[in-house]
Amino acid sequence: TEACLSEIDTAGALNAFVHNTPEIARQQAVAADARIKAGDAPDMCGIPLGIKDLFCTKGVPSQAASAILNGFKPEYESTVTTKLWDAGAVMLGKLNMDEFAMGSSNETSTYGNAVNPWRRGNEDTALTPGGSSGGSAAAVAADLCLAATGTDTGGSIRQPAAFTGITGLKPTYGRCSRWGIVAFASSLDQAGPMTKTVQDAAIMLNAMAGHDPLDSTSADLAVPDFEAAITGDIRGQKIGIPSEYHMDGMPAEIEKLWADGRDMLRDAGAEIVDISLPHTKYALPAYYVIAPAEASSNLARYDGVRFGHRAKLAAGDGITEMYEKTRAEGFGAEVQRRVMVGTYVLSAGFYDAYYNRARKVRTLIKRDFETVFAEGIDAILTPATPSSAFGLGEMTDADPVKMYLNDVFTVTVNLAGLPGIAVPTGIDGQGLPLGLQLIGKPWEEGALLNQASVLE
Ligand code: GLN
């Protein structure tokens, strides 16, 4: 804990931690020490963690990296972080992210972007750690903490993990409680571990997962021992390679990474099978209707009354002006765009054309996966991202769709509610990490972690 706290002090330029909690960390570390000495120490005991700013942590600023939550200190602790503290883990502080988890580069944060500790060759250009869990990824990659929590609505654990050379697991929807995590798109959001190794991801998921009566979508299922599932034996398993993930203009390096991954799994005794997920091309448009629709509804609660920021009002301003001014000041441009898109697709005249259509497409995407799993496929291998980490500012031009395309390999997993893991498997010609994604069957994170361990 002390080593991490001093690393954090010297790594300000990464802008990964946005709020440090050294007093809490030291208290928890002393308590963990006592448990270890008493012989009552779960695996997470004494492990120093960073927590994404999307998680409510009692009495500690929890702002979802938004100005609208300036000064907000929750009265309650999220279920996932409660479970981690109960398991003896130590909180070093809160981690940077895109505002309300909307973004792929950490550049929508009210704190300014986190920076990727990796550089291209000898260049000085600062690169994105990815997003939205960019602070989590940068902190783990730079050894500021041993692991971090992330959340993933359309790729926000897996893409930053791939951009920083770490492991990131999005569990099955419902595996971890969403209670006390600031909601972005409730039917897609899921918390997960961001770690240095697959084994660490298994250990941390065991501490985070489990049924919670406070979240009606959390599954009432036993949590198996995920670490014990990692045997490295994948003989006879069928790994699907979806033809639709060969995107036009995909860099040769990504194709090669993918081919190398296939070889590693084949060498370990798996059978590689070409498969088709025919509705893949509709996933991004469906996601960018459903996620903003749910966000526009979830973000209605930031009204200047209940949480955080309230605008200064002029004489004669009424409640409408209070809402308008507060929301205009408090929400950044990307969040405002999502609220507007979401409100539009849910409006009476457009609901069927956009929102309902997107929901139907979502069902078709889910069925694509169900079909291949029913045909005996055990997991699906794809690239995690269409490129390695890009430069800060490189994607933030007038066309937001350019940034949205980053999620092309990851959003299908959220739409279908499946578990997905990004594992670092290569370095590109510029010296930057690249990751592959494995997509598993629902509730089979153990099998997924085992398959992923073969790629490490
Ligand atoms: N980049 C995607 C978005 O901006 C995914 C974000 C996430 O998973 N939280 O919506």
pLDDT digits (tens, 9 = 90+) for 13-65: 999 999 999 999 999 999 999 999 999 899 999 999 999 999 999 999 999 99
SS3 at position 135: helix
Residues 6+ apart with CB under 8 A from 118: 127, 141, 163, 164, 165, 389, 431, 432, 433
Full 3-state SS string of 377-426: CCEEEEECCCCCCCECCCCCCCCHHHHHHHHCCCHHHHHHCCCEEEEEEE
369/219 Cα distance (integer angstroms): 20
* Contact of 435 with 423, CB cutoff 8 Å: yes
Is it the case that residue 279 has pLDDT exceeding 80?
yes
CB 134 less than 6 A from any atom of ligand 1: no
53, 104, 334: residue to mutate for ligand 1 pocket, most atoms within 8 A of CB: 104
Is it the case that residue 132 has pLDDT exceeding 90?
yes
Per-residue pLDDT, 397: 72
Query: 264 is in which domain, residue-wise?
Result: 1-456
Nearest atom, ligand 1, residue 101 CA = 9
Q: Ligand 1 centroid to 295 CA: how many Å?
A: 11
Q: Ligand 1 centroid to 175 CA: how many Å?
A: 19
Output the six-digit token pair for 318.
């009424």
pLDDT tens column, 317-345: 999 999 999 999 999 999 999 999 999 99
How confident is residue 249, by pLDDT bands cut at 50, 70 and 90?
confident
CB 188 less than 6 A from any atom of ligand 1: no
Per-residue pLDDT, 354: 97
CB 291 less than 6 A from any atom of ligand 1: yes
Name 435's bridge partners.
424
16/117 Cα distance (integer angstroms): 10
How confident is residue 400, by pLDDT bands cut at 50, 70 and 90?
confident
Percent of the chain whose predicted confidence (pLDDT) is above 70: 100
CATH of the domain at 122: 3.90.1300.10
How confident is residue 399, by pLDDT bands cut at 50, 70 and 90?
confident
Q: Ligand 1 centroid to 106 CA: how many Å?
A: 10
Percent of the chain whose predicted confidence (pLDDT) is above 90: 95
Q: What is the dihedral of CA 132, 135, 137, 141, to 10 degrees?
A: 160
ipTM over 0.85 threshold = yes
Q: Ligand 1 centroid to 37 CA: how many Å?
A: 42
Q: What is the mean pLDDT of the chain?
A: 97
Beta strands 167-170 and 420-427 are antiparallel
Q: What angle in degrees, to the nearest 10, is found between the helix axes of 445-455 and 198-208?
A: 160
Nearest atom, ligand 1, residue 155 CA = 8
Nearest atom, ligand 1, residue 287 CA = 10
CB 407 less than 6 A from any atom of ligand 1: yes
CB 204 less than 6 A from any atom of ligand 1: no
Per-residue pLDDT, 148: 99
User: How many other CB atoms sit within 10 Å of the CB of residue 245?
Assistant: 20
CB 156 less than 6 A from any atom of ligand 1: yes
8/231 Cα distance (integer angstroms): 35
Is it the case that residue 78 has pLDDT exceeding 80?
yes
Per-residue pLDDT, 19: 98
Nearest atom, ligand 1, residue 103 CA = 4
Q: Ligand 1 centroid to 282 CA: how many Å?
A: 16
CB 99 less than 6 A from any atom of ligand 1: no
pTM for the model: 0.98
Give the closest residue (by CA) to ligand 1 atom 10.
Answer: 102
Per-residue pLDDT, 401: 86
298/302 Cα distance (integer angstroms): 9
Under DSSP, the state recorded for 172 is P
128, 132, 408: residue to mutate for ligand 1 pocket, most atoms within 8 A of CB: 132
Of 345, 379, 142, which Cα lies nearest the Cα of 262?
Answer: 379
381/409 Cα distance (integer angstroms): 10
Mean pLDDT (whole number) for 396-414: 89
Q: Ligand 1 centroid to 27 CA: how many Å?
A: 34
53, 95, 98: residue to mutate for ligand 1 pocket, most atoms within 8 A of CB: 98
What is the tally of structural domains in the chain? 1
Per-residue pLDDT, 214: 98
CB 132 less than 6 A from any atom of ligand 1: yes
Is it the case that residue 164 has pLDDT exceeding 80?
yes
Output the six-digit token pair for 141.
């990659």
Nearest atom, ligand 1, residue 334 CA = 4
Nearest atom, ligand 1, residue 152 CA = 8
214/370 Cα distance (integer angstroms): 29
Query: Is the bond preceding 132 in cis, omega lying within 30 degrees of 0?
Result: yes
pLDDT tens column, 165-221: 999 999 999 999 999 999 999 999 999 999 999 999 999 999 999 999 999 999 999
Give the closest residue (by CA) to ligand 1 atom 5.
Answer: 154
Mind telling me the catalytic residues?
Answer: 52, 132, 156
Nearest atom, ligand 1, residue 185 CA = 9
Q: Ligand 1 centroid to 291 CA: how many Å?
A: 8
